Structure 1
Amino acid sequence: MTTTEIHSRFHDLLRAQVGHEFTASQQYIAIAVWFDTNDLPQLARRFYAQANEERSHAMMMIQYLIDKDVKVAVPGVGDVISEFVKIAEPVELALAQEKIVTEQITDLARTAREDGDYIGEQFIQWFLSEQVEEVASMRSLLNIVHRAGGQLFDVEEYVARETSARVNRTTNPPKEAGAL
């Protein structure tokens, strides 16, 4: 079975987005490791889970391309930052990253519409909704970190409480992306 080489702008952007999602996953692992190293297990757990979610997004995109019989190659990942000085820095980085991903996903949706790729546009709608949640979640976490001042146990308590609530409201399709 051969895969079709389709050259649509949407598919090109989606292939690139796979790399962005894998890079985001690696960045979240680096953040989680930093929190783990600094004895903040709830924040570490939160970012390890976020890394898995970003990997899942990449895998969903890969599966879509495979299902559409579009050639796909697994790209390498970009550089990640793994050294931070203050607790707010990795969360600020995560929020900035989610805002960039939101722009990328929005561009994917726009491009699918412009290309007349209605199936692609429908596929990307889930990711648009997901990005609203991701940005809001990171913004809230950053606000809590700032409000807590130096009270890291308060941040850990917040993350523990919110992580369990978040797991109960996930909308990720369960069959997608080969759960870890």
Structure 2
Amino acid sequence: MLSKKVLELLNTQVNKEFYSAYLYLDMANYYKNEGLNGFYNWYKVQAQEERDHALLFMDYIQQNGEAVVLEAIDKPDKEFKEFIDPLKEGAKHERYVTGLIHSIYGAAYEEKDFRTMQFLDWFVKEQAEEEDTADDLIKKFQLFGSDSKGLYMLDNELASRTYAAPSLTV
């Protein structure tokens, strides 16, 4: 059985993951409007991953006999002026999500909720990958994005990203 504190944090995380998907769709829209279809694709795939993360949290809560509480999803409020802005915002957001996951893990640790800690292990690893990928994308953009040919090649690289559902079993 989940403690009240852990359950509350898990439910909050469901909504934060859905917000993440919404935020990445907003970034995808920005790039689509700017004609960068590869960047659009990259963030659209990212949104799909975040949606699936929310569903994994929902499944976990339900499999522990608890109710999922869905809240309203905030509207993304960032305005992007330069192509690099969504990349920087995305990296910042991933660090924020890492902090949220760590907070749930810490609460589960305090409660000796080893099942939840084991469930969260996958997300801890996933967040490390997400942060590395976001930072790598910024570095690539800083190296190549100011050159039109480099930007074209980077956009083509990002267009090749395909969606793969997470392999975590809850």
TM-score (norm 1): 0.85
Deviations 1:104-163 (Å, cap 9, x if unpaired)?
Answer: 111111111111111001001000000000000000101111222422542452354367
Alignment of structure 1 residues 14-163 onto 2, 5 Å: 14-81=10-77, 83-158=79-154, 160-161=156-157
Letter in structure 2 aligned against 1:172: P
Query: Which runs of 5 or more structure 2 residues have no equivalent in the other structure?
Result: none
- 1:45: how far off? 0.0
Whether the 8 Å contact between 2:25 and 2:43 is mirrored in structure 1 is yes
CA distance in 1, matches of 2:24, 2:143: 22
CA distance in 2, matches of 1:80, 1:57: 19
Bigger shift: 65-74 or 46-55? 65-74
Instruction: Please list every run of at least 4 consecutive aligned residues from structure 1 whose deviation after the TM superposition is greater than 4 angstroms.
Output: none
Whether the 8 Å contact between 1:34 and 1:82 is mirrored in structure 2 is no
Whether the 8 Å contact between 1:30 and 1:81 is mirrored in structure 2 is no
Q: CA RMSD in A?
A: 2.3
Tell me: CA distance 1:36–1:129, structure 2 relative to 1, closer, same or farther (3 Å).
same
Tell me: CA distance 1:119–1:163, structure 2 relative to 1, closer, same or farther (3 Å).
farther
Whether the 8 Å contact between 1:22 and 1:77 is mirrored in structure 2 is yes
Bigger shift: 71-80 or 11-20? 71-80
Tell me: CA distance 1:30–1:9, structure 2 relative to 1, closer, same or farther (3 Å).
same
TM-score (norm 2): 0.89
- 1:11: how far off? 1.2
Whether the 8 Å contact between 2:20 and 2:50 is mirrored in structure 1 is yes
